[in-house]
Amino acid sequence: MEKKRTRAEELAWTRERILKTAQNLFMEKGYRAVSTREIASECGITQPALYYHFSDKESLYVAMLQGFVAKIGKRLKSVSKPTVAERLETMLEVLSEEHPSSMMMMLHDTLVEFKEENRGFIFKLWKEAYLDSFVAVFEEMKNEGTLREQISPEEAARFCLLTLGQTMSTWEGKPQSLAGQFKTLVDLILHGTKKTES
């Protein structure tokens, strides 16, 4: 016979279910298109039960994003490959696997829909998990003398993420293997389009 959950365990279980359901819906449809009524219905709870855990839709989104971004940041920081190109390719693969929706949609939602204090908090999350991971790769290039002097590691990292965000927003049902696309994307990021003189 299954042991009955305590009140605290039941509350924690419900909160996790709300967060998981919210993540699936927000990432699929975007912030504006999802209502707390829909999230509650998908969870099999009432709206007041949802509001017991989260005061409003924005606080729910922020809490969902915290866990979501932390998981991605951990994976990005753990990437270890011998070359910068391989590392960047693997990091882009991590983002495409873990990110069920367009990063551009997430960015738009944050800038347009949220209060100033939440925008600042979300930017901090994004910077620590995403941007700093890519900055570290370009810092290594700078230290090796292979990054162009007029480009900072942060500018290179932002360009890399922006390029991926734009690319992801055009994928309709992600292809099974994106390895070739990432190789080309990283080649363009590292070497540009200009033919080198032989």
Tokens of 123: 């930017």
pLDDT in tens, 133-172: 999 999 999 999 999 999 999 999 999 888 876 665 555 5
Instruction: Please say if the pLDDT value at position 75 is more than 90.
Output: yes
> How confident is the model over 106-122, as a mean pLDDT?
85
pLDDT over 50 (residue 76):
yes
Question: Does 46 have pLDDT greater than 90?
Answer: yes
Q: Mean pLDDT, the chain, as a whole number? A: 86
How confident is the model at residue 167, as a pLDDT?
Answer: 64
Q: Are 88 and 133 in contact (CB under 8 A)?
A: no
* Averaged pLDDT for residues 169-196: 71
In angstroms, the CA 103 to CA 119 distance is 15
pLDDT at residue number 161: 86
Given this model, what pLDDT does residue 5 score? 81
pLDDT of 176? 47
pLDDT for the residue 198: 59
pLDDT for position 96: 80
> DSSP of the chain, one letter per residue?
-PPPPPHHHHHHHHHHHHHHHHHHHHHHH-STT--HHHHHHHHTS-HHHHHHH-SSHHHHHHHHHHHHHHHHHHHHHT---SSHHHHHHHHHHHHHHH--S-HHHHHHHHHHHS-HHHHHHHHHHHIIIIIHHHHHHHHHHHHHT-S-TTS-HHHHHHHHHHHHHHHHHT-SS--S--HHHHHHHHHHHHH-SSPPP-
Is residue 128's pLDDT more than 50? yes
Q: Using one digit for the tens of pLDDT, what is the confidence trace for 63-72?
A: 998 988 899 9
What average pLDDT score do residues 18-25 get?
94
Compute the distance between CA of residue 62 and CA of residue 134 in angstroms, rounded to an integer.
23
Average pLDDT of 103-114?
A: 78
Is the pLDDT reported for residue 196 higher than 50?
Answer: yes
